[in-house]
Chain A
Amino acid sequence: MRILLNGDEKFLEGEVTIRELLNILGIELREVGLAVAVNGEVIPKSEYENYKLKEGDKVEIVHLVGGG
């Protein structure tokens, strides 16, 4: 399955939830500091476990960084 992850193509094996994607990428699931959007929709953290990604999904994974 091919998704667009933070603007770049990413290939995933089989069915993958947001939670699993974070695990694959080695991104820590932080209650404060992390957010994920799929096709422009922000997905609440409570749904990461069950939200299955689909072919062609545009996934944005963001965090909080220094800024003014």
Chain B
Amino acid sequence: MLDWENLLQDDIFEIAGRKFKSRLIIGSGKFKSFQQNKEVLEASGAEIITVAVRRVNITDPSRENLLDYIDPKKYLILPNTAGCYTAEEAVNTAMLAREATGINWIKLEVIGDKKTLLPDMEETLKAAKILVKEGFVVLPYVFDDPVYAKKFEDIGCAAVMPLASPIGSGLGLQNPYNLIFIKEAVSVPVIVDAGIGSATDIPPVMELGVDGILTNTALAEAKDPIKMAVAMKYATIAGRLAYLAGRMPKRTYAVPSSPMKGVPFKE
């Protein structure tokens, strides 16, 4: 009998030599509590969780810490450089992140515009070059530009993370063709980052053949983040399986599914 429960058993998601079963990556921002974040992480099946690096509040150094809830031995804690607007800021933040996490992985973000939070590709590329030389595993948040995606691969980035739509917008997939072009242009993993609004936005993205998906706000702002996490877990699997299964061609007109011959009561 076909082991349909384990169809994805050998479909390994690999970044910089590290293997993952889940193609879903989640963020840790904007959750009600660390406890809720932990439950969402467990429910989602994700093995990678992003974090930010921020100043400790000196007047009230909080006793509670995200890492009291999320075990870095069990999950890959992927720090970001969110909030950085220049290559220099991002490189310095990455250095702090490396010391804080004890690993050399960085989700590189260099933002170019406050309103849209779109990346400054020139500064991002500049920072990526420096960080790759410093021995970082660099995963840059990028515009859905296949030409730039190739440049990031060429300088040694471990993956590229194009947006589906702006960060926190929940607009879902806006330009499937660019993501297809990016997937064709690079051989490093393509992880779609930003723009997912709900679990139902995930399958159309995964069906394009991209390697992974990252979401945060859609979980944190869901009415029930745990249910959304479970929905996203299955949505990611559904999208991946649909991609591997291969969709039928799209046609303008209907084609009957039942035989035309032998229809009863026909003269």
Contact = CB atoms under 8 A, between A and B. Distances in A.
Interface of A: 5-8, 10, 25-28, 30-37, 40, 42-45, 60-68
Nearest to A37: B96
B100 A67 contact: no
B100 A35 contact: yes
A66 B99 contact: no
B28 A67 contact: yes
Given A33-B100, A64-B53, A67-B29, A25 B61 contact: yes
Contacts, number: 114
A31 B51 contact: no
Interface in B64-123: 65-67, 72, 77, 79-80, 82, 92, 95-102
A66 B52 contact: yes
A55 B50 CA distance: 36
A17 to B, nearest CB: 17
B99 A65 contact: no
B73 to A, nearest CB: 9
Interface of B: 27-31, 37, 50-56, 58, 61, 63, 65-67, 72, 77, 79-80, 82, 92, 95-102, 167-168, 194, 214, 216-217
A37 B99 CA distance: 10
Given A35-B97, A42-B96, A67-B80, A62 B54 contact: yes
B81 to A, nearest CB: 10
B95 A42 contact: yes
3 closest cross-chain pairs (CB), A and B: A67-B52, A68-B27, A68-B216
Contacts of A33: 65-67, 100-101
Nearest to B194: A68
B110 to A, nearest CB: 15
A27 B214 CA distance: 32
